[in-house]
C-alpha cells in the first residue's frame, strides 16, 4: 500500500518525464493497474512520455491502443447508463454518472459535450416542473375563491378570514405573473402544449390581475405558432417516413427518434398528425430491428467488431433495449477472449 502511495505521489510531484524514469521498470504493471481501475487519463498521461528508445515501447504502445478502444467503450457505457437514468426521471443519478465518468476522464471532449447537453435538458425539466407547480396552485386558487368570498361575506368582522382572503388575492397576483411568464417561455421554447395550458388557466382569473390586451395578443401568437409548428412537424414527419422507407441508416433512425420525442412532449396532435406519427413510429421500430438483425448476421459470420460497430451506436438511440444490451455484452466478452488467446504464445506438444 505504501509503495502505491509513493508512486501516486510521484506523478503529482515530478514532471511526466522524470516520473516515467523513476518507475521505468514498473510502468507496464502500473498501466495495467490504472486500466483495471478505469483510470484511463492517468494511464494515457503517463504513456505520453514513453520514447521510442524505451525497451518496452512496442508493448506499451499496444496497451495505449487498447486503452483508447476501452475509452470508447467506457464513454458509450456511461452515456447509456445516464440516458436510462434520465429516461426514468433519475436526474441526480444521471448527473452522478457523468461526474464520476469525467473524474476518470476529465479532458474527454465526448463526455464533456454529453454532460453539457444533459445539464441543459435538466434545467429545462426543472423549469417546466416549476411551471406545473404554478398551474396546480392556480387551479387551487380558482377553486377556493368562491368559498373564501362566501366566508368573508358571512363574517366580515373575522380578522382571520379577512387576512386569509387578502393573502389569497396576493397569491393570485403573483401566480398570474408566473403563468404569463410560463406562456412567454414555453412559446419561445416551442412548447405549445405547455403554453396553451398556462394560457387557459390564467384566462380564468379576473381581468384585474393581468393586461387583457396582452393576453389577447398571446392567444393570437399561440394560435399562429401552433399552426406553424403543426405544419412544420407534419412535413418533417413525412420527410422522415420517406427517408426510412429508403433505408434504415443510423442517421435516419437518430433523426426519427429525436423527432418522435418532440412530438410526444410538445405537440397537440390532430387526427392527421396522429396518423403520421403512428406511421413513423412503426417504421422506426422496424428500422431498429433491421439493424440489430444485420449486425447479428455479421456476428454469426465471425465479424464481431463489425457487428459492434452497428450495435453500439444503435444503443445510443434505444438505450433501454435489453436485447441489444445483451448482444453487445456477449460480443464484447467473445472479443476479449479472442484477443486474449491471440496474445498467448503457441504451445507445441512434443511426441
> 261: domain CATH number?
1.25.40
Same structural domain for residues 93 and 112?
no
3-state secondary structure of 51: coil
Rounded CA-CA distance 74/72 in Å is: 5
Residue-range definition of the domain harbouring residue 69: 2-107
Residue 223 lies in a domain: no
Count of structural domains within the chain: 3
Same structural domain for residues 11 and 86?
yes
Closest CA to 256 of 282, 230, 275: 282
Same structural domain for residues 12 and 103?
yes
337, three cell numbers: 477472449
pLDDT digits (tens, 9 = 90+) for 274-331: 899 999 999 999 999 999 999 999 999 999 999 999 999 999 899 889 999 999 999 9
Among all chains, which residue has been given the C-alpha cell 387578502? 166
263, three cell numbers: 412530438
Residue 126 lies in a domain: yes
Same structural domain for residues 128 and 61?
no
- On whether the CB atoms of residues 305 and 267 are closer than 8 A, the answer is no
pLDDT at 3: 45
Closest CA to 230 of 192, 186, 284: 192
The reported pTM is 0.61
Rounded CA-CA distance 144/139 in Å is: 9
Rounded CA-CA distance 120/125 in Å is: 9
Among all chains, which residue has been given the C-alpha cell 405558432? 225
Same structural domain for residues 243 and 148?
no
Give Dmax over CA atoms of the chain in angstroms: 113
pLDDT digits (tens, 9 = 90+) for 234-254: 999 999 999 999 999 999 999
Amino acid at each position: 500500500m505504501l509503495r502505491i502511495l509513493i508512486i501516486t505521489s510521484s506523478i503529482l510531484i515530478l514532471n511526466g518525464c522524470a516520473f516515467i524514469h523513476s518507475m521505468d521498470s514498473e510502468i507496464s504493471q502500473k498501466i495495467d493497474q490504472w486500466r483495471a481501475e478505469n483510470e484511463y487519463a492517468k494511464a494515457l498521461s503517463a504513456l505520453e512520455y514513453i520514447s521510442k528508445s524505451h525497451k518496452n515501447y512496442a508493448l506499451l504502445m499496444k496497451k495505449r491502443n487498447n486503452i483508447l478502444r476501452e475509452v470508447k467503450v467506457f464513454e458509450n457505457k456511461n452515456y447509456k447508463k445516464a440516458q436510462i437514468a434520465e429516461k426514468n426521471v433519475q436526474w441526480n443519478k444521471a448527473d452522478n454518472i457523468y461526474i464520476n465518468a469525467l473524474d476518470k476522464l476529465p479532458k474527454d471532449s465526448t463526455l464533456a459535450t454529453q454532460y453539457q447537453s444533459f445539464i441543459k435538458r435538466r434545467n429545462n425539466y426543472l423549469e417546466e416542473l416549476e411551471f406545473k407547480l404554478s398551474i396546480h396552485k392556480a387551479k387551487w386558487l380558482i377553486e377556493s375563491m368562491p368559498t373564501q368570498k362566501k366566508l368573508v361575506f358571512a363574517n366580515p368582522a373575522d380578522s382571520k378570514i379577512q387576512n386569509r382572503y387578502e393573502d389569497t388575492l396576493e397569491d393570485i397576483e403573483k401566480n398570474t405573473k408566473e403563468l404569463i411568464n410560463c406562456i412567454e417561455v414555453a412559446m419561445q421554447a416551442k412548447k405549445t402544449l405547455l403554453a396553451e395550458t398556462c394560457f387557459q388557466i390564467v384566462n380564468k382569473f379576473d381581468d384585474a390581475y393581468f393586461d387583457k390586451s396582452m393576453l389577447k395578443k398571446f392567444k393570437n401568437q399561440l394560435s399562429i405558432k401552433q399552426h406553424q409548428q403543426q405544419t412544420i412537424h407534419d412535413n418533417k414527419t413525412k420527410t422522415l417516413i420517406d427517408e426510412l422507407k429508403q433505408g434504415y441508416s443510423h442517421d435516419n433512425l437518430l433523426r426519427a427518434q429525436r423527432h418522435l420525442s418532440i412530438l410526444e412532449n410538445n405537440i397537440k396532435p390532430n387526427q392527421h398528425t396522429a396518423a403520421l406519427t403512428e406511421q413513423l413510429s412503426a417504421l422506426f421500430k422496424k428500422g431498429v430491428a433491421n439493424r440489430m438483425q444485420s449486425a447479428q448476421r455479421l456476428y454469426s459470420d465471425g465479424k464481431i467488431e463489425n457487428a459492434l460497430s452497428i450495435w453500439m451506436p444503435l444503443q445510443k438511440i434505444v438505450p433501454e433495449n435489453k436485447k441489444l444490451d445483451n448482444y453487445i455484452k456477449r460480443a464484447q466478452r467473445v472479443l476479449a477472449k479472442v484477443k486474449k488467446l491471440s496474445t498467448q504464445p503457441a504451445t507445441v506438444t512434443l511426441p
